[in-house]
């Protein structure tokens, strides 16, 4: 080997060594802090897997730095929050996603969130003669607000049993229970975690879980533009949530503790709500359930919120599910 060749080889090895040394001194670029959107975060139980994913570091395992959650009271507001966010990804009501699609907005459904509305039920006072859905015939019954999910579900149960009810808009779950206490209605809707708090106080008249087919409540959404450029990030977001779902089902006690950090909720109430929801397999790992999605569309058609069928092949994309 010539002197020049030897010197060149030493130079290359020296440069390589210097590169390794510099690589050990220069820290890796941290993931950019970002926020996701989850409907009714901190209030209803849709967000439990996200709380777990943040607390247990599942996002960081995927190389993501999710520092917080944007939210709203649901519906179109949450959908608009997703569309306007720096990272347009979140979990919203399927009804809100479909409404946005019908308005011509660029919405892509990429996973299932909550796979059932079975946790919603109607209750009455323990001394009431009302025991079943049929007993509501001819009576005043509360729902939360016009065109809401509870309005839709009550209409479907009424039609199923061929009964007549005088639906009363209560403005919310709390308003309905107040009407019930004051004798203004014969039954009112409730769901977890509120049901976990009051289930020893009221008698259940009927549960959607046993009255109606499974209906997908929430879905993960993004925009077509974001999906086209950020497919790998979406897969990581969905995977972190999936691990959160698995943990919720396997570890309800620890999940309840975690939820007290992110929700204004008592640990015992959180645990009871988690157990109630696990019994009906409330959270989806993400796979599409088209029958459940179509069942919701049928309900929305009944209350006049949707006309015609929805072509999921145009609006749902399963390619981000691992």
Nearest to 270 by CA among 186, 185, 192, 209: 192
Q: Could you list the residue range(s) of the whole structural domain that residue 139 is in? A: 121-211
Q: How confident is the model at residue 68 (pLDDT cuts 50, 70, 90)?
A: confident
Examine residue 169 and state whether it is found in any structural domain, yes or no: yes
Examine residue 154 and state whether it is found in any structural domain, yes or no: yes
pLDDT at 73: 63
pLDDT at 129: 97
* Mean pLDDT, range 287-294, rounded to an integer: 97
pLDDT at 204: 98
% of the chain with per-residue pLDDT over 70: 89
Judgement on whether residues 111 and 223 belong to the same structural domain of the protein: yes
Nearest to 78 by CA among 110, 112, 46: 46
Judgement on whether residues 99 and 233 belong to the same structural domain of the protein: yes
Judgement on whether residues 279 and 262 belong to the same structural domain of the protein: yes
Judgement on whether residues 231 and 177 belong to the same structural domain of the protein: no
Residue that wins the pLDDT comparison between 32 and 80: 80
pTM of the model: 0.87
Check pLDDT > 80 for residue 9: no
Judgement on whether residues 238 and 106 belong to the same structural domain of the protein: yes
Q: How confident is the model at residue 82 (pLDDT cuts 50, 70, 90)?
A: confident
Check pLDDT > 70 for residue 4: no
% of the chain with per-residue pLDDT over 90: 81
Examine residue 162 and state whether it is found in any structural domain, yes or no: yes
pLDDT at 77: 74
Judgement on whether residues 220 and 274 belong to the same structural domain of the protein: yes
Residue range 221-253, pLDDT digits in tens: 999 999 999 999 999 999 999 999 999 999 999
pLDDT at 33: 84
Residue that wins the pLDDT comparison between 215 and 77: 215
Examine residue 289 and state whether it is found in any structural domain, yes or no: yes
Q: Measured in Å, how far apart are the chain's first and last C-alpha atoms? A: 53
Examine residue 95 and state whether it is found in any structural domain, yes or no: yes
Judgement on whether residues 265 and 173 belong to the same structural domain of the protein: no
pLDDT at 25: 42
pLDDT at 67: 87
Tokens at 208, concatenated:
């959607």
Q: How far is the CA of 126 from the CAs of 135, 139, 156, 195, in angstroms?
A: 14, 17, 25, 15
Longest dimension (CA), the chain: 104
The answer for residues whose C-beta is within 8 angstroms of residue 100's C-beta and 6 or more apart is: 76, 79, 83, 107
Residue range 171-215, pLDDT digits in tens: 999 999 999 999 999 999 999 999 999 999 999 999 999 999 999
Judgement on whether residues 266 and 190 belong to the same structural domain of the protein: no
Judgement on whether residues 246 and 191 belong to the same structural domain of the protein: no
Residue 168 sits at φ, ψ, to 5 deg, of -125, 125
Check pLDDT > 50 for residue 276: yes
Examine residue 82 and state whether it is found in any structural domain, yes or no: yes
* Mean pLDDT, range 74-80, rounded to an integer: 69
Q: Are 119 and 276 in contact (CB under 8 A)?
A: yes
Mean pLDDT of the chain: 90
Q: Please tell me the total count of domains within the chain.
A: 2
pLDDT at 42: 92
Q: How confident is the model at residue 30 (pLDDT cuts 50, 70, 90)?
A: low
Examine residue 86 and state whether it is found in any structural domain, yes or no: yes
* Mean pLDDT, range 102-119, rounded to an integer: 96
Domain boundary among 178, 211, 244: 211
Task: Look up the CATH number of the domain holding residue 144.
Answer: 3.40.190.10
Judgement on whether residues 246 and 177 belong to the same structural domain of the protein: no
Distance CA 296, CA 163 (A): 21
Judgement on whether residues 203 and 233 belong to the same structural domain of the protein: no
Residue that wins the pLDDT comparison between 110 and 21: 110
Judgement on whether residues 169 and 313 belong to the same structural domain of the protein: no
Half-sphere exposure of 146 (CA within 13 A, CB side): 1
Residue range 36-63, pLDDT digits in tens: 999 999 999 999 999 999 999 999 999 9
Instruction: Compute the C-alpha angle 184/210/259, nearest 5°.
Output: 80
Examine residue 46 and state whether it is found in any structural domain, yes or no: yes
Domain boundary among 174, 189, 211: 211
Check pLDDT > 80 for residue 292: yes
Check pLDDT > 80 for residue 5: no
* Mean pLDDT, range 155-171, rounded to an integer: 97
């Amino acid at each position: 080997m010539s002197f020049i060749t030897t010197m060149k080889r030493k130079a290359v090895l020296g440069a390589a060594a210097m590169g390794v040394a510099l690589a050990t001194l220069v820290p890796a670029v941290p993931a950019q802090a970002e926020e996701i959107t989850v409907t009714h975060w901190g209030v209803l139980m849709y967000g439990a897997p996200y709380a777990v994913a943040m607390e247990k570091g599942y996002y960081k395992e995927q190389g993501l730095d999710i520092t917080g959650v944007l939210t709203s009271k649901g519906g179109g507001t949450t959908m608009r929050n997703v569309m306007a966010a720096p990272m347009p990804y979140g979990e919203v009501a399927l009804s809100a996603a479909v409404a946005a699609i019908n308005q011509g907005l660029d919405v892509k459904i990429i996973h299932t969130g909550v796979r059932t509305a079975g946790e919603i039920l109607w209750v009455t006072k323990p001394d009431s003669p009302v025991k079943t859905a049929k007993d509501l015939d001819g009576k005043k019954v509360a729902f939360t607000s016009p065109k809401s999910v509870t309005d839709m579900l009550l209409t479907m149960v009424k039609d199923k049993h061929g009964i007549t009810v005088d639906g009363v808009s209560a403005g919310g779950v709390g308003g309905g229970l107040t009407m019930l206490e004051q004798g203004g209605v014969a039954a009112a809707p409730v769901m977890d975690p509120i049901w976990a708090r009051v289930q020893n106080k009221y008698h259940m008249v009927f549960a959607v879980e046993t009255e109606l087919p499974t209906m997908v409540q929430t879905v993960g959404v993004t925009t077509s533009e974001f999906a086209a450029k950020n497919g790998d990030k979406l897969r990581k977001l969905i995977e972190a949530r999936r691990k959160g779902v698995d943990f919720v089902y396997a570890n309800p006690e620890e999940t309840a503790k975690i939820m007290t950090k992110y929700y204004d909720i008592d640990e015992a109430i959180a645990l009871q709500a988690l157990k109630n929801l696990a019994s009906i397999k409330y959270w989806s790992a993400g796979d599409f359930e088209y029958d459940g999605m179509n069942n919701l569309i049928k309900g929305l058609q009944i209350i006049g919120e949707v006309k015609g069928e929805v072509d999921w092949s145009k609006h749902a994309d399963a390619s981000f599910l691992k």
